[in-house]
A and B are shown apart, each in its own frame.
Chain A
């Protein structure tokens, strides 16, 4: 799904409108906001340097989500953190102490439980419940079948529920 036909102005517009959303997506997957910013930066920088063009794509967001998730996976691989909790050694969600105070204890527990999930399950749950994607859209973004999305989401939710029960 290589995009084509988008001007620099349009790329900038997409950057302006979508950067925050993409950074948050990356931050939830990586548990690290600055790393997520770097990933999103790299995605746009590569597109700009290569002269990627997006005009023929009605909605560039799916492509960008996929690129960001791939970038996040690279980061996880580099850290050798695949299949390991993304938040080990650092707080999750990636908020400052002041910001974390704005989250209720219940929400912090939910997010901590999410961080303990394997990367693939976390990706699916974040795409489903943060980005609001359908199973088909998640499948296209992650390059897996819809069936795999469904089963991964179910297992992820079950693991999350169990983790929350145990932390009570």
Chain B
């Protein structure tokens, strides 16, 4: 027999080796199963953004729809087909030689079709290769909303526990989201991921747009996607609380919330819906974009961005914020979603430009002092997608655009693909599932 010390060491080595091998294996083994899942619902465009408060329900429906399709497919296939590389999908663009502009972050974190909602992949920007795979604990599913600190090396991802309400068994037992937790991990110079740690207190419901403060001490999120806080929670028939912005202080564990029923310049009596949140470099001011309907009979929206003082005690968003920018009534570039630069001098925004051929997605930079627009990227004709979103790095200079199932970063007006050959970045949810 072996000594107790030796047994303990062997146990530890075995546990470590199995865990490491499982993490590596996990990245590719699920690809085939997901090949059967139909295209996920598109991200709400500006024209459909009035549906944002229903997004939580839509997420649940999407999970169910995908699951049902999966079972249907299971019943008629005898084996898993390999994930086909989608025709016409772009492949990773090699990092250009150093030239004008600063270098982008060396790594980005995402989740793709293979990883689904249970794994995060660390990928190298230069060749899109996976350098690490981070798996969530069993029972937790990513909701998207990956966010990084200013140094682009510490990543946060929200995940929810999909549980079934005990009093709703059988065919209608939908996997209600009862709780969201935030998970954190760091990436080193080699792209290896550190230990995944659950941080902060639990949050009821599914969170929407998420932004971690530059130093990683606070996480801001919008609860527009349905933050179920009513008595009894989801299963107890609790009602979704109104749209709100919340900030979790990871040091104290305290959550502060600012309600957003009305905000200028929306007309009195009109409820606004918060969208993307982004931090200024001071780690205190949070830019909040929000939309409101301009017609009760149609999905016409207007939009604005406000600066919230997150050192305030919570309460009314209107009382603790001021409007930074609002969309003109007749917009050429009609902004769907905007994030502020760390210095607070400009907004980066995904907008729709109406052309004779229809709407075209455009990434613009809006100067806050002057209100002028600068086009950073235009989706090529024929490659437009109704679902476009973006995220930026800690400097605000490097922007990743996700359009449909494609992702890339913008350099000198061009989209450099961040998509490895054979990898399909199809997103389960409309919110950001890529970050650097």
Cβ contact within 8 Å between B2 and A13? no
- Tally of A-B Cβ pairs under 8 angstroms: 152
Contact check, A20 vs B21: say whether CB atoms are below 8 A apart: no
Q: A27 to B22: give the CA distance in the assembly, Å.
A: 9
Give the size of the chain B interface in residues (CB under 8 angstroms): 53
Closest to A18 in B: B138
Say which one of B4-12, B233-241, B337-345, B359-367 lies at the interface with A.
B4-12
Which residue from chain B places its CB closest to the CB of A160 in the assembled complex? B10
> Are A44 and B22 touching (Cβ within 8 A)?
no
Q: Residue on B with the closest CB to A155?
A: B1
Residues of A contacting B28 in the complex (Cβ-Cβ under 8 angstroms): 96, 99
B175, A13: Cβ atoms closer than 8 Å: yes
Are B7 and A157 in contact, with the CB atoms below 8 A?
Answer: yes
The reply to whether B25 and A114 contact each other, CB–CB distance below 8 Å, is: no
Q: In the docked arrangement, what's the CA distance between A114 and B22, Å?
A: 14
Check if B79 is an interface residue, CB within 8 A of chain A. yes
- Do B169 and A5 touch across chains, with their CB atoms under 8 A apart? yes
Whether A16 and B80, one on each chain, are in contact in the complex, defined by CB atoms closer than 8 angstroms, is no
Specify which chain B residues have a CB less than 8 angstroms from the CB of A160 in the assembled complex. Answer: 10, 14
The interface residues of chain B lying within 8 Å CB-to-CB of A55 are 169-170, 173
Docked-complex contact A9 and B173, CB < 8 angstroms:
yes
Quick one: given A17-B162, A19-B33, A110-B14, are A9 and B68 in contact (CB under 8 Å)? yes
Residues of B with C-beta under 8 A to A157: 2, 7, 10-11, 14
Q: Which of B18, B24, B26 contacts A126 (CB 8 A)?
A: B18
Give the interface centre of B74, B164, B170 by most chain A CB atoms within 10 Å: B74
B32 at the interface (CB under 8 A from A): yes
Q: In the complex the two chains form, what is the Cα distance from A162 to B10 in whole Å?
A: 10
Option from B14, B63, B138, B174 in Cβ contact (under 8 Å) with A125: B14
A22 → chain B, closest Cβ, in Å? 10
Cβ of B141 under 8 Å from chain A? yes
Whether the pair B67, A12 counts as a contact (CB closer than 8 A) is yes
Q: Which residues of B contact A38 (CB under 8 A)?
A: 79
Of A12, A24, A114, which one neighbours B70 at CB under 8 angstroms?
A12
Beta-carbon contact of B170 and A5 below 8 Å: yes
The distance in angstroms between the C-alpha atoms of A18 and B118, with both chains bound, is: 10
Q: Is the CB of B30 within 8 A of A20?
A: yes
In the bound complex, how far is the Cα of B22 from the Cα of A8, in angstroms? 28
Check B30 against A107 for contact (C-beta < 8 Å): no
B7 touches A7 (CB 8 A): no
Is A17 a contact of B164 with CB atoms below 8 Å?
no
Say yes or no for A102: interface residue by CB 8 A criterion. yes
B87 at the interface (CB under 8 A from A): no
Judge whether B70 and A16 touch: CB under 8 Å: yes
Q: In the assembly, what is the distance between CA of A18 and CA of B132, in Å?
A: 21
Q: Roughly how many angstroms separate A156 CA and B15 CA in the complex, as a whole number?
A: 14
User: With A41-B74, A99-B24 given, is the CB distance from A19 to B13 under 8 Å?
Assistant: no
Interface residues of B (CB under 8 A from A): 1-2, 6-7, 9-11, 13-22, 24-30, 32-33, 63-64, 66-68, 70-71, 74-75, 79-80, 116, 118-119, 132, 135, 138-139, 141, 162, 164, 169-171, 173-175
A-B CB proximity, top 10 nearest:
A12-B67, A110-B17, A107-B17, A130-B18, A7-B171, A12-B71, A161-B10, A93-B21, A129-B15, A24-B22
